[in-house]
Structure 1
Amino acid sequence: MAPGQPAAADPVAAVTEIRAAGGVVWRPVPGGVEVCLVHRPRYGDWTLPKGKLEPGEHPLSAAVREVAEESDNRAVPQVRLPTVHYRSEGRPKRVDYWSMRAVATGGFQPGTEVDDMCWLDTDEAIRRVSYPHDAEVLAAFAALPRVTGTMALVRHAHAGKRTTWSGPDTGRPLDAQGWARAHELATLVALVRPSRLLSASARRCVQTLDPSAALLDLPIEVCGDLDEPQPGQQPEECALAAAARLTALAGGGEPVAVCSQGKVIPGALERLAGRTDDFTTPKGGGWLLAFADDRILALDRL
């Protein structure tokens, strides 16, 4: 290239990445678990159920939807598995995977995209799949301890500025931006099929779960262990109380959804994870948590 000549545009870098998502769907059987594979007649392959994201769709929502569409399994996402990268029809493709517990099925019917579905133990599934990257995802799943608790943990959505609210801070409500985000969060919270909704006592926290409560027809339980420190109270005390409460909730055996506050969530997650890390959670953000008995197994940002 001559000095001063501009570099040619990289045609590969300009190609839009294809985004897809799917899952390793499992069910318990005597002596272990079985996982779901699907057969696609167009490619003549056995693979994990997956599909492309719709415009604006969250990858986790796409993963649950595609699993339902391809295998007719309704499943609860639990742990993020390795992301797969490869090229498809000349374009880079990224597929995000989660382990998912099958909770219901409508009865599989063969179609043009998927004409067969099977349940196999993990070792047999690794041998059956047509692609090495599917085998790697299955191997990562097989290495996981059994998940015993699943939780959606979110921080309250936007509620304006503390300095512009004249009343008690616990009464500060969501603003228009916050309500919009609360409705978006409801679709993600619903993916874990929670049996309970719990909130810190601040009004903005309860309101953040209001759309989820309406969607799921569940009451919101207010829990003081999820509150920010009060005057004279140490942040460490609140973090320990919140971590203990989250562990107890996970031990109930049913998925739950929890809304807490920005001065509580990072400290609680540090104690659950047993390490110092960036657990800062933006307003309206959250985490998918998976537990193995009384210890946290995985934390995945929503």
Structure 2
Amino acid sequence: MSEPAVYAAGAVCWRLIDGKIHVLLIHRTVYGDVTIPKGKVDPGETLPQTAVREIEEETGLAVALGVPLGVSAYSLLNGREKIVHYWAAEISAEAIQHSTFVPNGEVAAIEWVTIKKARSYLSYTPDVDIIDAFAKLVDMGVTRTFALIALRHGKAVQPGQWSGPDFSRPLTERGVQQAAAIVPTITAWQPQRIVSSTATRCVTTVAPLAAATGIQIKRTDRYSQDAFEQGLADVRSGIGKRVRSRKTAVICSHGPVLPEILHEIALATGSTHGAYISDAAALETGSFSVVHLSADNPSAGIVAIETHSPAY
């Protein structure tokens, strides 16, 4: 029986230097090679969580993830397959200022280079392929992005088991676990807003995230199931506001409302419709879809969508 694959995650960290995009490469001490920052998944981690942790450990930079760039798969010397997931990550001036990097036993140096130089400096072809994927975003003019994170509330007590109003149904023990488990993954995108349906099961789902980030929950009936079923929900204006703000936001809502939320994101950004929209809305409890949009031109359409489930 073959050994299980080794999973890892990382990012193409980028910034503007003299008006030109540069990417960050690391010179590894032991191997004497040049690679993109990345590392293996620790037990209990999700891939986005790993990417953020590994980048900070290797480069001293605290990052927020951007668009997913793809997956590299190759064989290690011991024959095991290694699968690495990558994102883009814009590095802010503040992150540079607070970098804690010093040369160490794992990374001898870090270097900002142009995309062209990165292709020639990198030691491994799979890394070059990821740089090429990032270069396509640069050519499209959609490197700087923000995300709307559509989150389905955690598992709630069933209606038949609850005597109170539907909006007051609480989370089950599993739902409480889901609410806690999503925090380290969602914070990989550093949300700036948390918006929730007024239903207890939604507010309780994002409460741990609000506590971890210090962001106040904005409660609204725009995304509530009761208002939606009564034809009183105002998803369109809510999504329009979120797109105009160009800030990464979490929107916690209900299974029946999520298709409308994704539909309105597509309409607000001039995106083509397709199965990818309905797939992104078909979420299990506690799961979420990250919809990436261009910060410079949201009307350019959805750049990418990725879906994640809680790890617990």
Q: TM-score, normalised by structure 1?
A: 0.88
1:133 counterpart = 2:126: yes
Give the Å deviation of 1:52.
0.5
Kindly indicate whether the alpha-carbon contact (under 8 Å) linking 1:24 and 1:97 is maintained by their aligned counterparts in 2: yes
Q: Does 1:55 align with 2:61?
A: no
1:232 is displaced (CA, Å) by 6.2
2:69 aligned residue = 81
| Aligned mates of 1:143, 1:248 — CA distance in 2 | 29
Q: 1:148 to 1:20 in 2, by over 3 A?
A: closer
The change in CA–CA distance for 1:152 and 1:232 in structure 2 (over 3 A counts) is closer
**Aligned-residue offset at 1:250:** 3.8
Are the structure 2 counterparts of residues 267 and 254 from structure 1 closer, same or farther at C-alpha, using a change threshold of 3 Å? closer
The reply to whether residue 196 of structure 1 matches residue 193 of structure 2 is yes
Which whole-Å CA distance do the structure 1 matches of 2:272 and 2:253 have between them? Answer: 20
Q: CA RMSD in A?
A: 1.9
In the alignment, the residues of structure 2 paired with residue 297 and residue 248 of structure 1 have an alpha-carbon distance, to the nearest angstrom, of 19
Matched, 1:44 2:32: yes
Q: Distance in 2 between matches of 1:232 and 1:211?
A: 28
2:253 aligned with 1:251, yes or no? no
Contact 1:153/1:258 (8 A) holds in 2: yes
Render the CA deviation track for 1:187-233: whole Å, top value 9, x for unaligned: 22222222221111111111101001111112100122222363764
**Relative to structure 1, is the Cα distance of residues 255 and 158 closer, same or farther in structure 2, using a 3 angstrom cutoff?**
same
Among 212, 215, 220, the alignment partner of 2:217 is: 220
Q: CA deviation at 1:32?
A: 3.4
Note closer, same or farther for the CA distance 1:276–1:162 as it changes in structure 2 (3 Å cut). farther
Offset from partner CA, 1:155-196 (integer Å, 9 cap, x none): 100112122111111111111111111011122222222222
Tell me, in whole angstroms, the C-alpha distance in 1 between the residues paired with 2:236 and 2:21. Answer: 30
User: Pick from 273, 276, 279: which aligns with 1:275?
Assistant: 273
**Which of residues 3, 6, 28 is equivalent to 2:16?**
28
Distance 1:257 1:131 in 2: 36
The answer for the alignment partner of 1:4 in structure 2 is none
Cα deviation for residue 296 of structure 1 reads 2.0
Match of 2:83 among 94, 103, 107: 94
Whether the aligned pair in 2 keeps the contact of 1:250 and 1:256 (CA below 8 Å) is: no
Give the whole-Å Cα distance in 1 for the aligned partners of 2:58 and 2:228.
53
Q: Contact 1:290 / 1:298 at 8 angstroms: preserved in 2? A: yes
Secondary structure of the 1:84 match is strand
The alpha-carbon deviation at position 107 of structure 1 amounts to 3.2
1:157 aligns with 2:154: yes
Q: TM-score, normalised by structure 2?
A: 0.85
CA distance in 2, matches of 1:231, 1:46: 53
1:301 partnered with 2:293: no
Gaps of 5+ in 2: none
| Cα pair distance change 1:48/1:231, threshold 3 Å | closer
2:204 pairs with 1:210: no
Q: Is the 8 Å Cα contact of residues 154 and 285 (structure 1) preserved in structure 2?
A: yes
The SS at the match of 1:135 is helix
Q: Size of the alignment, in residue pairs?
A: 286
For structure 1, the residue ranges without an aligned partner over 5 or more in a row are 1-10
Cα distance change on mapping 1:296 and 1:19 into 2, 3 Å = same
Partner of residue 290, structure 1:
292
User: Counting helix residues as a fraction of each chain, which structure ranks higher?
Assistant: 2
Contact 2:6 2:80 in 1 (8 A): yes
Conserved? CA contact 2:66–2:145, under 8 Å: no
SS at match of 1:78: coil
CA gap of 1:250–1:102, structure 2 versus 1, over 3 A, is farther
266-275 or 65-74, which deviates more: 266-275
**Secondary structure class of the residue paired with 2:110:** strand
- Larger Rg: 1 or 2? 1
CA change 1:138–1:162 in 2 (3 A) is same
Indicate the percent of aligned positions where both proteins have the same amino acid. Answer: 31
Counterpart contact for 2:221–2:227, Cα < 8 Å? no
Give the Cα–Cα distance (whole angstroms) in 1 for the partners of residues 124 and 20 of structure 2: 24
